[in-house]
Structure 1
């Protein structure tokens, strides 16, 4: 008879996830790319999940934490609960995300501050190629699909151009902000940080995270986390249903979201309005402009756009080779 430790180990290995070191390393790399995207204003980790072929796996992994899992947990059937959830998949992915967030945040801040055109050019290429990779999944590409692409694109285009608003600081609204912002994790084209800015709660939430053990701040963090937990559980199920029931139309709308998001990552911008949040300048409003001329910066930007496109196509080819 197996010991409890062996039973738990077997249950862990039976859960969905990479089966060898190579598969785990590749999933970590995809998580790293997602984390790198999440710290870029206007770029979503959900986009990276889509182009690397793990989008539906991610949605299913989040959905695995369901009522049956909770029942097994409360009945102390730990091995059964562990076998239910996609823990190995999520651990590899989350480790990659955290590695990128911790290791790349300062680098990305430096690049966006000192080399904005070049940095945005690379991400413009990444998202442009992502549109092609995701759009390939639309079958059939008919009139309805085109309508949903247009609707998704228009909605995303308008959303990323909105100016952050002033909103209340009540706990119910903080809960709502958590539920909305977390959806960006699995929604291509929109970033959670941008949604918090738009809801007027970016500074409020980040300020509480700076001193999390102050009683009032701890309560705010817990309420925000509860909203995020409920939001991602509900939204993942909605997305799963839509992908299962209307796959082509859902993918069409998600493709449209990424097309609209190109407005945010256009390399050449003119800042119209800023705000100082915790000593840092944040852009509230800007407009896209044409390049100043065909100089060295312009050709470097074009090269980086092409490099971003090639990186996505290469990652897509590697991902298909490991499915």
Structure 2
């Protein structure tokens, strides 16, 4: 079941639920594919400005992910009681598509464990190169998703514009620098996980905006479980509430929702524009202001930047092709 696929359930007044009969009998090759896509999602989520949800959408697993997460709720207890014992647990496992979620989470965790240090090094020491790669990746994603939106109308154009403007506004907000309390971290976790699921808005960037990013990184580094568990509780709460709403929208207004999500992704380009300088128009401090390539202090570096943009675009195109190919088998 692939997210960028049309047509979808009718967007008339008669609601039709998403097909929740997802396959729970993935073969080892399919599960390996889910694991690799999870790694790609994790790598994207590490970068403040790129959303793992974008990768899930282009890889053709977004709708399945939302279905799986959206099935988590009080009704699982009824499913368990109906069968009872081991059979009840297996029924719950199948209902939440837990094998799929497990391999996806393992892939995400693998990226965080193996790639976080390298990506952080590149962000600190070669920001122009890594932002160029992700910029090309996101531009290609936008073009691919725009072709998946059928029957453009005024409403969908407006929704695309709303998504674009919202992402630009969020990316332009000033960063908070206050020391977060535990209730604040709970709130930050709930908002950030929604952003991680929503294509185009980075959960890492939301934590950065809310002034919680450094606290969370420090907590992970020092194994401060009070902070970690508070954040995780907020994330779980936000995840359960948000995915139910998103599942409902995808079921009834798939094309309109896709237009909105594509707008979010387009708006995120402002955040990941490669050529940035600091407030003194130099590279000595944190670079936050976008400039034209020819105004970059060390020059535009056309060969390396455009080459990496092309690489990002090619990789996301291959990921999209792979996602569609897998879902047609």
Q: TM-score scaled by structure 1?
A: 0.85
Contact 1:16 1:87 in 2 (8 A): no
In 1, Cα distance between equivalents of 2:77 and 2:228: 23
1:190-216 CA-to-partner distances (Å, cap 9, x unmatched) read 11111111112222333333344xxxx
In 1, Cα distance between equivalents of 2:285 and 2:91: 47
1:35 equivalenced with 2:53 (yes/no):
no
1:144 equivalenced with 2:145 (yes/no):
no
Query: Counterparts in 2 of 1:236-275, with a 5 A limit?
Result: 236-272=243-279
Q: How far 1:64 moved relative to its partner?
A: 2.3
Stretch of structure 1 that moved more, 17-26 or 94-103: 17-26
Q: How far 1:59 moved relative to its partner?
A: 0.4
Alignment match of 1:286 (pick from 288, 297, 302): 288
In 2, Cα distance between equivalents of 1:306 and 1:258: 18
In 1, Cα distance between equivalents of 2:179 and 2:117: 31
1:312 equivalenced with 2:316 (yes/no):
yes
Q: How many residues align?
A: 298
In 2, Cα distance between equivalents of 1:122 and 1:203: 24
RMSD, matched Cα: 2.4
Q: Secondary structure at the match of 2:47?
A: coil
Q: Which residue number corresponds to residue 175 of structure 1?
A: 186
1:31-66 CA-to-partner distances (Å, cap 9, x unmatched) read 111011011121110000011111111101112222
Q: How far 1:298 moved relative to its partner?
A: 1.2
Contact 2:193 2:235 in 1 (8 A): yes
Contact 2:192 2:206 in 1 (8 A): yes
Contact 1:18 1:24 in 2 (8 A): no
Change (3 A) 1:295 1:205: closer
Stretch of structure 1 that moved more, 146-155 or 130-139: 130-139
Q: How far 1:184 moved relative to its partner?
A: 1.9
Unpaired segments ≥5 residues, structure 2? 1-20
Q: Secondary structure at the match of 2:288?
A: strand
Query: Counterparts in 2 of 1:110-149, with a 5 A limit?
Result: 110-149=121-160
Alignment match of 1:298 (pick from 287, 295, 302): 302
In 2, Cα distance between equivalents of 1:320 and 1:256: 22
Q: Which residue number corresponds to residue 205 of structure 1?
A: 216
Q: Secondary structure at the match of 2:77?
A: helix
Q: Secondary structure at the match of 2:277?
A: strand
Unpaired segments ≥5 residues, structure 1? 1-13, 274-280
Q: Which residue number corresponds to residue 63 of structure 1?
A: 70
Contact 1:148 1:249 in 2 (8 A): yes
Q: How far 1:296 moved relative to its partner?
A: 8.2
Change (3 A) 1:172 1:289: same
Q: Which residue number corresponds to residue 90 of structure 2?
A: 79
1:252-293 CA-to-partner distances (Å, cap 9, x unmatched) read 1111111110011111111229xxxxxxx994x611111138
Change (3 A) 1:159 1:26: same
Contact 2:68 2:96 in 1 (8 A): yes
In 1, Cα distance between equivalents of 2:149 and 2:184: 37
In 1, Cα distance between equivalents of 2:114 and 2:167: 29
Query: Counterparts in 2 of 1:94-105, with a 5 A limit?
Result: 94-105=105-116
Contact 2:276 2:291 in 1 (8 A): yes
